[in-house]
Every structure is written in structure tokens, then in C-alpha cells.
Structure 1
Amino acid sequence: MRFSFFIFLILLFLCGQGRSQEDHSIARRWMDVMLRIVQEDGQGPTVQARNYFHTSAAIYDAWAAYDSKQETYFLGKNKRGLELPFDSKFKKISTNVDSLRNIAINYAAFMILRMRYEDYGSKGRTIDFIIDEFERNGGDQKYMDDDYLEGSPEALGNYIGNYVLELGLNDGSREEDRHESEGYRRINPNLRPELPGVGELRDPNHWQPVEIQHYIREKGSDKTLKDWNFLLIPGNTEFLTNFWGEVIPFALEDKEGPFPIHLDPGAPPYLDSRDTISSKNYRWGFQLVQHWSSYLDPDKTKIWDISPRGITSMEGQIPRTVDEYKAYFERAENNERGKAAKNPFTGKKYAKNKVKQGDYVRTIAEFWVDGPNTSSPPGHWLQFLNKVSYHTDFKRKWKGKGPSLSQLEWDVKSYFLMTGTLHDAGIAAWSIKNHYDYVRPITAIRFLADVGQSSNPELPNYNPFGLKLTKGITELVTIDDPLVGANKEHLNKIKIKAWRGPDAVNDPLTDTAGVGWILAENWWPYQRYTFATPPFAGYVSGHSTFSTASAVMLHHITGSPYFPNGLETFTATKNEFLQFEEGPSEDITLQWATFYDAAIETCLSRIWGGIHPPVDDIEGRRVGKKVAENAIEFADRFFE
């Protein structure tokens, strides 16, 4: 029997639980609460990364306040003019410091999360489990005092929580306005994906909002989808948190508005009227996305080995030139993973893990999507951190050196640093997204198809700015083609071999869209129809930024690029894991030896899923690496 979508989310969440909850620190228990509530919340990854960070930083300060040798982050500091005075000689009312810390952490986390998700969340939900966790830890909602000087850990937690909430109203996030988009000047009118083409597109270089409400109503009326109505979320045509570069960061330079840009990677390739190198690179990138869509078929006979075998490394090998880009993605398309690698913990070569190519690419496209009703891209990496931290063989040595830390100290410090890095990744990526306002594949591919073919001026529908023809992948509709239409209205249009889209799926419990010839003007990314493409510009990829920053940071704090025991896995069950069509056709076990393996798979999944062209991915990786390096430099000063 097929799992429901919610059961899938629960299982994904539980996979990070590790040892029993009795062994979890109070910081871990509150992180679990955050991961759970984010799954139920409708706000985007930038907002969630901020909430993860603010809560984790408050937890850190509630812990650090009881040790004069520990630096604090909010206490005694000034953040953009808002001060939080702190007397580190406040009275200690017990020699059991950890018990005091636990109480202060409990109050600080509760105050922030209750306010953030009860008053400022984007849709109705229960916060009962936030209250339950608070009271399970001995909390009293009636205790509101924040005068910590007499030694009350409850008051200290309230003191920190009150400051973070006040800071949140003055940190550039526009929290009081529900983080609503402001100052974005849209260039293009909405795209309705159920209709052919791109509508009245004004500029193919810029983001086009996707309006899916009409299509949701049409598809949602099907009786076979009655149990899936919780997926029918309204399409968002506003640029989500376009102003996020103005938010107070963790370790990045604090740049106040309007619309600053952080770690500027330079402009992506644009389509222009002179058919320049930039135009050619634009067409190459988006046509690669279109071509990769032709692999999303469970009946593909090519077999891939997806074991950890050195899939193209990010360590010093992020492509820079166009030739390097093309060579890199050719290797990725052919699953070139290098020589069989050895597990450094066992000394044995990783066993082969052979799967159907079409099953694998569909599975990773969905596993890493981290869209609505998930813990978000930042949360996915925090779950990985939990799996590492609570692995029975993991030694909690900071940067892999020195004495082992207590579980509480490790959790407090690692959450603080990881969430700060993720917060900065969101700030940097969205500042770039807003600045360049770059087009998504669903618009670019359809537009290029409308323009025509650029391969042969002797053939019909020629235009030097159109798609290149490739036999078996991109061709012209001929007179006897099944796609030509009853009145030959599609004659000489561009057709492509691609995933056939959500209209080919009547019942997601039993149907598979498969790959076939479609009119390019009707191309869809490999996403469920309620989330055809994210509500913000593409360049740079948020997934690539978040995942690369996280991999670098996990390597830094653990002292090793490897998961414990050199292998981490996730099994997608046959005909149960995929949610908007049936599949995979057999069990698929994803495997990663290193944090970088997982990050690279995340990055590539967004191309397989039709969400980003290569430039979004690669430059997102480069920005993410810089984000982590800034955070590491800050952390080394801060902790040492």
C-alpha cells in the first residue's frame, strides 16, 4: 500500500532521530520541534533559515551565559543599533550549571517559536506541540519576568527571547508585514503553464511568475485526487522575500538597504539581439535542461552505478569557463564517477549500486525538492547534522580535535554555526536573485521553442535565436506527425522528447507520465503540478547555495568530509516514494560517502527536475562555498 505524503515526511524526519529521545539534549529536542513546525508552515526557505538561526543563536546564548570563558552572540552585543546589555556576574543559584542552562534554553526557544509561528506564520496551524515541549521541560507560560540578575534561569531565557523578538522587528526582514515582497518591479506578466507558450512575455532574460490557480482547480476536480487536496496550495506569483539582502546576517558583511547584493557572482548569460557568446550560452544551458528531461523515464534501459565513486568533486573543481561547464555536465549526464573509491573506515571498496537511470534521476529530483510541506532546504541539512551528531560511532570533537564535548555543548555550538551559515546562504542567494531577476527554464525553453529552430536556414521555422535540432531529442513537427493537429496547426513547430507532464497522470497512485514526444511549447519541469516552479527568480540556485555551504561547514565542524562510517543512505521504496506519479519501479537506495556527495546530488537534482540551468547551479555552489568560508573565519575567532 502506498505511503501518504505526510507519512513520507514523518519517515524522512525520523531518519535523523538516531538514539532514543531520552538521550537527546534539550537543544536537540527544540531543533526537532523546529523541523516539525517548518513542515507545517507555508513560509519560504529564507524565512525558515532565519527562524532556525535566531532560535539556535538564542539557545547558544542561554548556554554560554553560564560560562565566563564562552563568547556570547546576542548578550552584551549591539546588532544594528539594538543593544542587549548583559552582566555576566549575575547570581548563579545552583552549582548544577546544566540544569540552569536547560531551563534558560527552554524559555528562550519557547518564547521565540511561539511568537514566530503563532503570530507571524503564513497559514493556520496548531502550535500545541511547541507548548507541549515547553511544559514537558517544566515551563510555565505564566512566568513572564525577564529580570535575570537574581539568578532566575527562566528570566534569563525570557530576557534573551524578548530581545530576539524585538530584533526580528528591526532586522530588515519585514516581519510585521509577514515578510511580504516589497519594491519588486516585475517585467513579465504571469505564465499559465496549462496553456501553450509563455503568453505576452516582454523579456526572456527575466523571471516570469507562474500562475497555477486555474490549473489546480482543474486538476483538483478529478475524483481520484480527493485524498490529495492538501497539496492544492495556491500559486504564488509574488517574488518571495526579494528584499532579503537587507536582513542582518550572521557572518557576512551587514549591508543595509535598499536591495544590497552579497558575494556578487556577476551576470548570468543573457539572450540578446546580436547572437553573442552570451546568447549561445543561454541557449546551451536551457536546452541542456530540456535534454535532461528526456531521461525521466522508468523504462530507460541504461543502468547506472550510483555507489560513492568520486562523483565530480567540488573541492577546487567548480567549473569556471564555458568549456569547463560543458565538460562537467557531460560527465554528470553520463554518470562518470571516477575510479571505485575505498571506504576510509573499512578499507574496502564501496560495493556497486546499480539502478535504472530513469528511476534514479526521478528519485533525486523528488528527494531533494524540499518544497512546501517539508522542513525546507535548510532543514534537510539540519537533519543530516542530527544524523551525524547522534550516530553511535561519532566522536563529538570540535573540528575533529581535542576532547569530546558533552552532547549539549556539541548540539548548541553545531546548531548555532550551521544555522548561521544557512541564514547567510539565504541572504546571499536571494540578494543575487533579486538583483539579476533571472528567468526559469519553464519560460526560457518554451520561449526558445516559440522562436523556432536555429540549426538549418534551409528548414522551416528557422531563427538563429531558437532551439538547436537534435535527432531523437529536438525535431520539427512534420505533416504526418501525430502532434501535427487536426488542422495541421502545429506543422513545423518544435517538438521535444521529454517528460510528458502532469496531464499524463490521472491518478498519481498508479499512473506514470513517462517520456515521449511533446510540443516544446507545453514543456513542464519534473514537479508536482501544484508547485510547477518556485515563486522567485532562478539565478543563483538556493539549493546549490544552501547545500554547498552546509557540506563545507559539516566538514569543518566534524573534521572530516565523511559521514560516520563512510556511508549514509536513504531508500526510496518501490512504487511508494514518488508522490505525483508512480515510482520508482524498484527500490532505490541513495548513497553518499561524503557531505560533498550529498551536496552535489542536491545541485544536480535541480537540473534533472527542470528548475535550474547549469549557471544557476554552479554559481550557487561558488556563493555557498564563500558563505561557509566567511562563517568559518567568524567561528574560529568567536570560539577560540
Structure 2
Amino acid sequence: MRTFFQQDGSNEIDEYTDVSYQPVNAPLVLAQGGNLMDHLTRWQPLQFEDAFSQTGQPLDFNTQIFIGSHWGSVWPFAIELPISESEYQNIHLSAFISGEVDKAFKDAFVEVIAMGAQLDPDDAPMVDMAPSNQGNHSLGAQDGKGYDINPSTSEPYLPQWINHADYARVIAEYWADGPDSETPPGHWNVIANEVVDHPEFERKFMGKGESLSPLEWDVRMYFLLNGAVHDAAVAAWGLKRQFDTSRPVSVIRHMGQLGQCSDPSLGSYHPLGLPLVEGLIMLVTEETVVAGGAHAHLGASSIGQVAVRAWRAQAMEKDSKPSGVDWILAQNWMPYQQATFVTPAFAGFVSGHSAFSRAAAEILTRITGSEFFPGGLIEHPIEPGWLEFEQGPSQPMVLQWATYFDAADEAGKSRLYGGIHIPADDFAGRKVGAYCGQAVWDLGLNYVDGSLTSNRLPIKLVTKGDNLFEVHWPQRRGLFYGVGRSSSLKISDSMDSLVNFYRAKDKQGFWTFRVEPEVEEKGFLYVIEALNDGLFPKSD
């Protein structure tokens, strides 16, 4: 098994490295502030003073390397590859990303700035985040209005009023799954375990029939769930490598340093600068830096530069006051993340969190027979002091989700509050994840019910000329295949005449052979498919 998977495209033998990828932009040196990129739409590595890995380990280098840049070439379980330039399994990628620095591109990063400007608990409204008011979104959108009743209790969901900045900061950290965590796929395994531990949960496959034993349920659940997040990783990282898109910290700093693009008659105009938005993105002027002015704390040296309302990223100690939000120079903008991490070391489009989460939600919905969590609700209480990045939340609160899809959508949205992704990354990632989850479910059922090898394989015979022939058939990676010719249809005769047997690495199998008409009798071609190699003769 280990030898087989050393050939799966992950390059395990060389510690999963990929020397074929080189970034087109020089690193963003975080300690210096500001940023200028050669290619604004393309990914840029970050350079730290002290850098840590996704699992929280100190790194012996301080400039990011694109993690998993080759992962789109890893063998998937169920999905179809490769990905075209504009479409992937009826997902119109061009609707999410154009590769041009156009109005849609700029607006996306303005939205990230706007969401980061909502992280001050002292200046935030109370919002009702109960399932009666949130969730129930269509796929690839944030358009839901919640649910009228809990289907499990037939009662309305109770209101859940939360300080909006607390909510935004909490979900940014709850779903971060960054340094020193179980990572997003592991997080969804934790959620699956919580579902099984719920007092109202029954181990009925697809919500029907007799309850399964704990072992049988676990085998099916972990097999299908982790097959889905595996394929989500292959699909998402294939797109990340193909589109190689930039992250908010790079783009916002770059555009902010260039200036503003709204009014050529004003100072610091640049067509690739940030759009001016009243109360959010402004030009620092002599009037705004005077005592009592909005930008007084920025000083006269900032006149003519672009300022944004943003998380200040100053007070990182848990026992200190939250950083809050204030005017800062756009060229110094930082996402709501730890200073030793800032942004993941790979391209933005599509969001891995969104793809992983939706793929997992598709499996949990199907295997339990309901899109709703047991009891129609799952809750996670959060106490003051829970946050890691800074002090908070300011008061006790509870995260609530009615359905697996609601939880998955919140995971995707959290990356915008965290300053990691733009909306296009999130929405496209949700669609990619849905496709992966559905594909794994459809194939995985054949493993679960034993029907995987029960159907006849369609065999195609191709004439190559000069008495040379080639036989083709579809196959599944990991299964075993034997092929040969025989004058008899008896299984025993067929097995004795096998001329080739192997474990499949590709989706198409073929075998080339020659026929000598004057010597050989008429016979049969056959291909045998099996879950293991026990059917096949062993060589001495």
C-alpha cells in the first residue's frame, strides 16, 4: 500500500516538495511596510522575521514557499480532472475571476477592507445570529434569510443577539484552523464526531433502516468524509496553482501605496490605486491631520497617502485591550491573523476552507439523511477570553448552526473577516466543494454496498494494423485488474491464461497483443476487476 501511494503524485519520497513552481512576485517584506508587485493579480510570498508553519512549528526559513503547488496532480478518489481555463464541472470560473485589474477586482478587496473595519467591539451593533435570521443560503452565495422553525422541535429558533465584532472575530478564529490546529479537514472530522455523540443521533445510514453498529458507521463515515476532503484538496489546489491569485494583504498594500483611483483631480491619483469610499478609504490631507482630525494620529508625513479604516493589529497579548479599529495607512494594512502567520502560503482562488467545508457538509447531509444537525441545531458556547489573537469576546456568546451547509458557509465567510480571501475565492470554493462531495458520495456508495465490481466492464477493441490489436477499458485507481485471452469462458481457464495483472494507477487500462491467424484458434478477450489481488495467480 505504501509503495502504491508513493506514486500518487504527492511526491512523498521527496517530502512533498515541488521544484516546478516559482512565484512571479518578489516577497512582501512585512517588517518594512508597503508593497509593490510586478504582477498584481498573482500570488506573492511573504517574508517574516519569525515564521511558523500551518501546524505551528517554527520554520528554518522566513520566506513563504507555495505549499502544495503540485497537489492538483495528486490522484483523486472520485473527481474528474483536469480543469479547463474557464470552467470546471459546470462551474463557470470566469464568473468569479477574470485575471484583470478591473472594477470587480478592486471592489472585492474594498469589501475585505470593509469587513476588517467591523472588528471593534466598542463600536459594533448587536446582531441576531440565530438560525431564524441567518443561514439557508443557495450554493455559492450569501443570500439566505434563515429558517422559520426548527424541524426537529417544530418550534421557532430563539433569537441570538451578539456583538457583531465579537461574532466576526470569533468565527475568524474558530474556523481559522491555522497554526497548531487539526487543519480544516480535521475540523470536519471533529464536527462529525460531535454529530455521532449527540443524544438524538441514530446510526441509520442515509437516515433509513436499522441502526448500524458503531464500528460499521465509523468506517463508512470516515471513509466517505475523508474521501471528500481529499478530493476537495486536489481540486482546490489544482485551481490555486492554475490561477495563482494574489491575497488581500498583498493587493491592498500595493494599491494603497500607489494611491487612489477615484479622482484624477485629487492628489496621489493612480489608475491601479484604491477606490475612495467615504468613511472607509480616504486621502490624508492637511485638513484631516490637524488636531481633532480623523488622521491626526498619522501625522503630517502621511499627507497625500491613502488611509483605510482597519484592525490596528497592535495589542496581541490576551490580557490587553482589543486592538480595535482606526485609520491606518493602507500600505500597512494587516489581516486579522497572528503576526507570525498573516496569510497562508499558497494562492487565494479557490478557498480551501470553503471547498473542504462544503465537501464535508455534502457527505454528512447524505450519510445522516438530513441537512440538519441532530435536534435541528448544534451550539458552541464561547466565553470571554477565548480569543487567541487578542482579548475577547467582550461577553459570552454561542455559535449556532441549523444545517451542515450553514456551518460550511460560515467557515468560508470567516476567511473574509480574517482578511484571508475575497468573496470570489469563497463562493467558487463552495461550488468546487459541492462537486467533490457529490462525486465522492456517488462512487463511495459502490464501495459501501459492494457493487463496485459487480458490473461488466465495457471493453473496446482497437485494430492497430499488421495483426496488432489493443483492448481498452475503464478502471479505478487502486483496484486490481487482470487481462488476457482464452479459448474458454470457464473462470478457471480464464484465470490460468492471465497474461497481465496489476494495481491500477490510471483511469484507462489497455493491453496490446498480436494475433497470428494461421496459428491461433478463435478465442475470447476478458478483463477481470477485483478489490484485492487474491483472485490473481502469484508468480514464483
Q: Output the CA distance in 2 between the equivalents of 1:182 and 1:486.
A: 43
1:457-496 equivalent positions in 2, closer than 5 A = 457-482=264-289, 483=295, 488-496=300-308
Q: Paired residue for 1:203, among 25, 39, 45?
A: 39
Q: Paired residue for 1:269, among 88, 97, 106?
A: 97
Structure 1 residue 527 corresponds to structure 2 residue 332? no
- Equivalent residue pairs, number: 436
1:626 alignment counterpart: 435
2:201 alignment counterpart: 394
Q: Paired residue for 1:617, among 426, 429, 434?
A: 426
1:385 alignment counterpart: 192
Residue 531 of structure 1: SS of its match in structure 2?
coil
Structure 1 residue 318 corresponds to structure 2 residue 140? yes
After TM superposition, the structure 1 stretch with the greater mean CA deviation from structure 2, 472-481 or 184-193, is 472-481
Q: Output the CA distance in 2 between the equivalents of 1:465 and 1:196.
A: 19
CA displacement at 1:487 relative to structure 2: 8.1
1:15 alignment counterpart: none
1:434 alignment counterpart: 241
Distance change in 2, residues 1:166/1:265 (3 Å): farther
Structure 1 residue 446 corresponds to structure 2 residue 256? no
Q: Output the CA distance in 1 between the equivalents of 2:92 and 2:336.
A: 27
1:43 alignment counterpart: none
Distance change in 2, residues 1:239/1:262 (3 Å): farther
- Deviation per CA, 1:497-556, whole angstroms, max 9, x where unpaired? 11012xx11533323111000000000010011110000000000000001111111101
Q: Which runs of 5+ in 2 are unaligned?
A: 290-294, 450-540
Residue 381 of structure 2: SS of its match in structure 1?
strand
2:379 alignment counterpart: 569
Q: Output the CA distance in 2 between the equivalents of 1:580 and 1:487.
A: 28
Residue 413 of structure 1: SS of its match in structure 2?
helix
2:403 alignment counterpart: 594
Distance change in 2, residues 1:249/1:626 (3 Å): same
Given residue 410 of structure 1, which amino acid in structure 2 is its aligned partner? W
Given residue 65 of structure 2, which amino acid in structure 1 is its aligned partner? E
Given residue 250 of structure 2, which amino acid in structure 1 is its aligned partner? T
Given residue 499 of structure 1, which amino acid in structure 2 is its aligned partner? W
CA displacement at 1:185 relative to structure 2: 2.1
Residue 475 of structure 1: SS of its match in structure 2?
strand
Residue 508 of structure 1: SS of its match in structure 2?
coil
CA displacement at 1:466 relative to structure 2: 2.1
Q: Which runs of 4+ in 1 moved over 4 A?
A: 230-236, 261-265, 482-487
CA displacement at 1:637 relative to structure 2: 3.0
2:365 alignment counterpart: 555
TM-score (norm 1): 0.65
Q: Output the CA distance in 2 between the equivalents of 1:282 and 1:397.
A: 46
Q: Output the CA distance in 2 between the equivalents of 1:348 and 1:235.
A: 54
CA displacement at 1:475 relative to structure 2: 0.6
More helix by share: 1
CA displacement at 1:438 relative to structure 2: 0.3
1:281 alignment counterpart: 104
Given residue 38 of structure 2, which amino acid in structure 1 is its aligned partner? R
Conserved 8 A contact 1:477-1:484: no
CA displacement at 1:366 relative to structure 2: 0.4
Residue 202 of structure 1: SS of its match in structure 2?
coil
After TM superposition, the structure 1 stretch with the greater mean CA deviation from structure 2, 173-182 or 305-314, is 305-314
2:351 alignment counterpart: 541
- Deviation per CA, 1:564-601, whole angstroms, max 9, x where unpaired? 11111111210x21112111111121011111111111
2:517 alignment counterpart: none
CA displacement at 1:341 relative to structure 2: 2.6
Q: Output the CA distance in 2 between the equivalents of 1:583 and 1:303.
A: 15
Q: Output the CA distance in 2 between the equivalents of 1:506 and 1:361.
A: 17
Distance change in 2, residues 1:560/1:340 (3 Å): closer
Conserved 8 A contact 1:286-1:441: yes
Conserved 8 A contact 1:497-1:518: yes
1:581 alignment counterpart: 390
CA displacement at 1:628 relative to structure 2: 1.0
Distance change in 2, residues 1:236/1:465 (3 Å): closer
Given residue 318 of structure 1, which amino acid in structure 2 is its aligned partner? G
CA displacement at 1:480 relative to structure 2: 4.5
CA displacement at 1:614 relative to structure 2: 0.6
More strand by share: 2
Q: Output the CA distance in 1 between the equivalents of 2:103 and 2:97.
A: 8
Conserved 8 A contact 1:232-1:530: no
Q: Output the CA distance in 1 between the equivalents of 2:360 and 2:12.
A: 26
Conserved 8 A contact 2:134-2:146: no
CA displacement at 1:364 relative to structure 2: 0.3
Q: Output the CA distance in 2 between the equivalents of 1:262 and 1:280.
A: 24
Q: Output the CA distance in 2 between the equivalents of 1:271 and 1:597.
A: 30
Q: Output the CA distance in 2 between the equivalents of 1:577 and 1:314.
A: 28
Q: Output the CA distance in 1 between the equivalents of 2:408 and 2:308.
A: 30
CA displacement at 1:372 relative to structure 2: 1.6
1:286-305 equivalent positions in 2, closer than 5 A = 286-305=109-128
Given residue 519 of structure 1, which amino acid in structure 2 is its aligned partner? L
1:208-357 equivalent positions in 2, closer than 5 A = 208-212=44-48, 214=49, 235=62, 237-253=64-80, 263=89, 265-267=92-94, 268-270=96-98, 272=100, 279-309=102-132, 311-315=134-138, 317-319=139-141, 328=142, 338=145, 341-357=148-164
Q: Which runs of 5+ in 1 are unaligned?
A: 1-162, 218-229, 273-277, 320-327, 332-336
CA displacement at 1:465 relative to structure 2: 2.9
Distance change in 2, residues 1:507/1:521 (3 Å): same
Residue 516 of structure 1: SS of its match in structure 2?
strand
Conserved 8 A contact 2:298-2:328: no
- Deviation per CA, 1:171-202, whole angstroms, max 9, x where unpaired? 11111111123310210011122322214x11
- Structure label with greater radius of gyration: 2
1:191 alignment counterpart: 28
Residue 569 of structure 1: SS of its match in structure 2?
strand
Given residue 70 of structure 2, which amino acid in structure 1 is its aligned partner? F
Q: Output the CA distance in 2 between the equivalents of 1:237 and 1:637.
A: 41
Q: Output the CA distance in 2 between the equivalents of 1:623 and 1:216.
A: 30
2:511 alignment counterpart: none
Q: Output the CA distance in 2 between the equivalents of 1:485 and 1:457.
A: 27
Q: Output the CA distance in 1 between the equivalents of 2:102 and 2:81.
A: 35
